[in-house]
Amino acid sequence: MKIELSGRRALVSGSSQGIGLAIAVELARAGAAVVVNGRTADKTESAAAQVRDAVPGAEVTAVAADLASAEGADQLRAQVPDLDILVNNLGIFGAKPVLEIGDDEWRRYFEVNVLSAVRLIRMYLPGMIERGFGRVQNIASDSAVVTPIEMVHYGVTKTALLAVTRGYAKAAAGTGVTVNSVIAGPTHTPGVEDFVHELVGDDQEWDAAQRQFMREHRPYSLIERLIEPHEIGNLVVYLSSEQASATTGGALRVDGGYVDSILP
């Protein structure tokens, strides 16, 4: 199957590093014009340069805006009025005992992990529907299905994102626009490296720390390793394509078999 996204414009929120940056690279590799986003200009421009290095000749635009706020979303819209592909990747996570999570932190997680996606969908979905084509993807997590005791607030927001996806897919029914969630499993990023060392200690080499983390904290993984970010990007590219025209309202897993269920 050859996936061709030439002529399509894609935005990946929170794409200055990690999974978001890998998704941007894979979309560019498939021919899409890509908008990368981060909160600061230097990191966002650096991400754009990394996409161009990985995909020579790629059309890449860097937009610095804090999409966890309505003001940031408006700044983005002023620079990028229309999209064909929207990937809501922006998210935060961190370990904290659930009884110590206060109201302000709960609100912050919902603003970043849920409302940032809602705002952008509300902003760009009408134009997609009018043109008869669009692809919206919300990057969720295995934590949406298997709530992790060490970060319940993160898991709850990712569960909410699955419902957001289903609701907006219904709003786009019959229009040629699809809306899906991608359930990403434990993934190898710099932030996750820090998280792993926080849980298992920082007195051992990365390979040993990763094995201990998977054994003790993610024992149901069927690949018994962290997922590489480009592997998530591969699924995003497919869901962005014409070939995925009959897939909508779904929660598709790229989780290494971690979720022990035949359904999400």
Active-site annotation, residues: 154
- 178 Cβ neighbours under 8 A, 6+ residues apart: 134, 135, 136, 169, 172, 239, 244, 245, 247, 248, 249
What is the maximum alpha-carbon separation in the chain?
A: 55
Asked if 90 and 19 count as a contact pair (C-beta separation under 8 A), the reply is no
Asked if 22 and 229 count as a contact pair (C-beta separation under 8 A), the reply is yes
- 207 Cβ neighbours under 8 A, 6+ residues apart: none
Nearest residue to 34 via CA among 42, 44, 43: 44
Residue 80 buriedness (CB in 10 A; 0-12 / 13-18 / 19+): middle
> Rounded CA gap, 111 and 67, in Å?
9
Dihedral class, residue 174 (left if φ above 0, else alpha if ψ from -120 to 50, else beta): left
Asked if 259 and 157 count as a contact pair (C-beta separation under 8 A), the reply is no
